[in-house]
Structure 1
Amino acid sequence: MIFSSLTPVVGTTFVVVVFLLLKLRTVWYNLFLHPLKNVPGPKLAAATDLYKIYYDLIIRGGLLEQIEKLHKQYGPVIRIAPNVLHFNDERAYYQIYGVGSTFTKDPELYSCFAMNESSFTYTDPEAHRRRVQMINPFFSRRAIVELENVVQEKVDKFITRMISHPKDRAINMFWAFRCASVDVITSYVLGQDFHAMDHPYFSHPFPLGIQRQVHVLWVWKYFPFIIPLFLSIPKRIMTYLKPLLGELAAALAVREQVEEKIERFLSDERALEGVEHEVIWHHLIGDGMEELSELDGEKKVSGLGGREKGEKSGERRGEYDGPSKNSLLSEALILTQAGSDTVGNTCYLATFYILNDPSVYHKLKEELRQVWPDKETRIGMDVLEKLPYLNAVLKESLRLGHGVVTPLPRVVGPGPAEILGVHVPAGTIVGMSCTFLHYDPRVFPDPYTFKPERWLPGGSSNLSEMEHYLRPFSNGPRQCLGQNLAWAELYLIMGYVFRKLDLTMHDTSIDDFKHFKELFVPSFEGRTFHAFAEEATS
Structure 2
Amino acid sequence: MDSSLLSYAIALGLLNHVYFHKFEPNSAKIPLLFLSLEPAVLILCLGGPISFLRLLLSYTVFWGSLSLSIVLYRLSPFHPLAQYPGPAISKVSKLWGAAVAARGKRHLYLKKLHDAYGPYVRTGPDELSIVDATAASQILNAGGLVKGRFYETGRDPSTPPPILSLIGEAHAKKRRAWNRAMASLRDYDPVIQKRAMQLVTCLGEQPKGTAVDLALWFELFTYDFMGDLAFGGVFEMLQQGKDTHGLGNKIHSFFAASIILGNIPWILGLFNLLPMVQRSIQEFNDLGQGLATHRIKTGATHAKDLWYHIADEEGLEKQKPTLQDAAADGIVAIIAASDTVAHLLASLMWCLVSNDQCYKRVQQEIDDTFVVEDDLVDFSKHQQCVFLSACINETLRLFPPAPVNGGTRQVHLNSGGGRDIAGKYIPEGTSVYMPTYVLHRRSDYFSRPAEFVPDRWLPSSDLALKHNASAFMPFSQGPANCVGQHLARREVQAVIIFLLKAFEVRFAEGFDGAAWTETVCDYFTATRGPLLVELTRRG
What TM-score do you get using the length of structure 1 for normalisation? 0.80
CA pair 50-208 structure 1, distance change in 2 beyond 3 A = closer
Instruction: Report SS of the residue matched to 1:532.
Output: strand
Change (3 A) 1:90 1:109: same
Give the partner amino acid of 1:121. S
1:49 is aligned to 94
1:256 equivalent to 2:286? Answer yes
Work out whether residues 37 and 46 of structure 1, in 8 Å CA contact, stay in contact via their aligned partners in 2: no
Say whether 1:165 aligns with 2:206: yes
CA contact (8 A) 1:381 1:491 kept: no
Matched with 2:36 is none
Q: Which residue of 1 aligns with 2:346?
A: 348
CA separation of 1:50/1:229 partners in 2, compared to 1, >3 Å: closer, same or farther?
closer
2:15 aligns with none
**Could you say which residue in structure 1 is the equivalent of 2:311?**
285
In the aligned structure 1, how far is the partner of 2:483 from the partner of 2:512?
A: 34
**1:117 is matched with which residue: 155, 161, 176?**
161
**Which of 114, 131, 136 is the equivalent residue of 1:88?**
131
Offset at residue 333 of structure 1 (A): 1.4
- 8 A Cα contact 1:220 1:227, kept in partner: no
Cα deviation 1:463-505 (Å, max 9, x = unaligned): 9954333211111111001112101101111111111222222
Residue in 2 aligned with 1:518?
Answer: 522
Distance 2:383 2:119 in 1: 37
Kindly state the Cα deviation for residue 511 of structure 1 after the two structures are TM-superposed: 2.9
Q: In the TM superposition, what is the alpha-carbon distance from 1:228 to its structure 2 partner?
A: 6.4
Amino acid aligned to 2:434: M
1:386 aligns with 2:430: no
C-alpha distance in structure 2 between counterparts of 1:417 and 1:204, whole Å: 46
Equivalent position of 2:8 in the other structure: none
* Matched-pair identity in %: 20
Instruction: Please give the alpha-carbon distance, in whole angstroms, between the structure 1 residues aligned to 2:314 and 2:358.
Output: 50
- Classify 1:322/1:359 alpha carbon distance in 2 versus 1 (closer, same or farther; 3 Å): same
3-state DSSP of counterpart to 2:504: strand
- Is 2:455 the counterpart of 1:479? no
CA shift digits 1:218-254 (9 cap, x unpaired): 3443453445654896xxxx7xxxxxxxxx89x94x7
Return 5+ residue gaps in structure 1 as ranges.
239-247, 292-319
8 Å CA contact 1:405–1:518 kept in 2: the answer is yes
Q: Deviations over 1:342-389 (max 9, x none)?
A: 211111011122122222222111111111112355432211112121
* CA distance in 2: counterparts of 1:273 and 1:370, whole angstroms: 40
- Of 111, 121, 131 in structure 2, the residue corresponding to residue 68 of structure 1 is 111
CA RMSD in angstroms, aligned pairs only: 3.1
2:229–2:307: 8 Å Cα contact kept in structure 1?
no
Amino acid at match of 1:511: A
Residue 394 of structure 2: aligned partner:
396
Equivalent residues of 2:147, 2:409 under 8 A apart: yes
> Aligned partner of 2:162: which letter?
S
User: Deviations for 1:60-90, whole angstroms, at most 9, x for unmatched residues?
Assistant: 2344333323323333222111110112221
Task: Tell me by how many angstroms 1:255 deviates.
Answer: 5.3
Residues 112-147 of structure 1 deviation map (CA, whole Å, 9 limit, x = unaligned): 36686111122x32221111012211012x2x1122
Asked if the contact 1:172/1:202 (under 8 Å) is kept, the reply is no
Q: C-alpha separation between the residues in 1 aligned to 2:463 and 2:392?
A: 19
Is this contact kept in 2: 1:113–1:217, CA < 8 A?
Answer: no
Provide the secondary structure at the position in 2 that maps to 1:441. Answer: coil
Q: 1:177 aligns with which of 206, 213, 218?
A: 218
Judged with a 3 Å threshold, the aligned counterparts in structure 2 of structure 1 residues 54 and 274 are, in CA distance, closer, same or farther, namely closer
Q: Given that residues 30 and 47 in structure 1 are in contact (C-alpha distance below 8 angstroms), is that contact kept between their aligned partners in structure 2?
A: yes
- Higher mean C-alpha displacement, 419-428 vs 86-95: 419-428
Residue aligning to 2:26: none
1:261 Cα offset (Å): 4.7
Task: Return 37-46 or 498-507, whichever deviates more.
Answer: 37-46
What are the ranges of 5 or more consecutive residues in structure 2 without an aligned counterpart? 1-46
Tell me the equivalent position of 1:503.
Answer: 505
Q: Aligned residue for 1:39?
A: 84
Q: Distance in 2 between matches of 1:158 and 1:397?
A: 21
d(CA) in 1 for partners of 2:277 and 2:86?
41
Q: Which residue of 2 aligns with 1:19?
A: 63
Alpha-carbon distance in structure 2 between the residues aligned to 1:515 and 1:529: 10
SS at match of 2:432: strand
Q: Distance in 2 between the 1:192 and 1:463 partners?
A: 45
Structure 1 residues 275 and 510, CA gap change in structure 2 (3 angstroms) = closer
> CA separation in 1, counterparts of 2:386 and 2:55?
74
Pairwise CA distance, 1:155: 0.7
Q: Is the 8 A contact 1:197 1:204 kept in 2?
A: no
Q: 2:188 aligns with which of 147, 151, 174?
A: 147
Give me the TM-score of the superposition, normalised by structure 2.
0.80
Deviation of the 1:39 alpha carbon: 2.0
Q: What secondary structure does 2:144 align onto?
A: coil
User: Is the 2:177–2:312 Cα contact (8 Å) retained in structure 1?
Assistant: no
Kept in 2, the 8 Å contact 1:165–1:201? The answer is: no
1:136 aligns with 2:179: yes
Q: How does 1:220-259 map to 2 (within 5 A)?
A: 220-221=261-262, 222=264, 224=268, 225-227=270-272, 229-230=274-275, 252=283, 256-259=286-289
- Give the Å deviation of 1:396: 1.2
Partner amino acid, structure 1, of 2:307: W
| Shift, 1:196, TM fit | 1.5
Aligned-residue offset at 1:157: 0.6
Distance 1:326 1:129 in 2: 18
1:512 deviates by 2.4
How many residues of Structure 1 are paired with residues of Structure 2 in the alignment? Answer: 480
Within the candidate set 43, 51, 54, 1:10 is matched to: 54
**Secondary structure of 1:85's aligned partner:** strand
Q: Find the counterpart in structure 1 of residue 408 from structure 2.
A: 409
Q: Would the alpha carbon gap of residues 207 and 44 (structure 1) be closer, same or farther in structure 2, given more than 3 Å must change?
A: closer
Pairwise CA distance, 1:434: 1.1
Report the CA distance shift for 1:322/1:24 in structure 2 as closer, same or farther (over 3 A): farther
Give the partner amino acid of 1:496.
Answer: F
CA contact (8 A) 1:375 1:500 kept: no
Structure 1 residue 276: Cα displacement:
4.1
Are the aligned partners of 2:446 and 2:468 in contact in 1 as well (CA < 8 Å)? yes
Structure 1: distance between partners of 2:155 and 2:196: 29
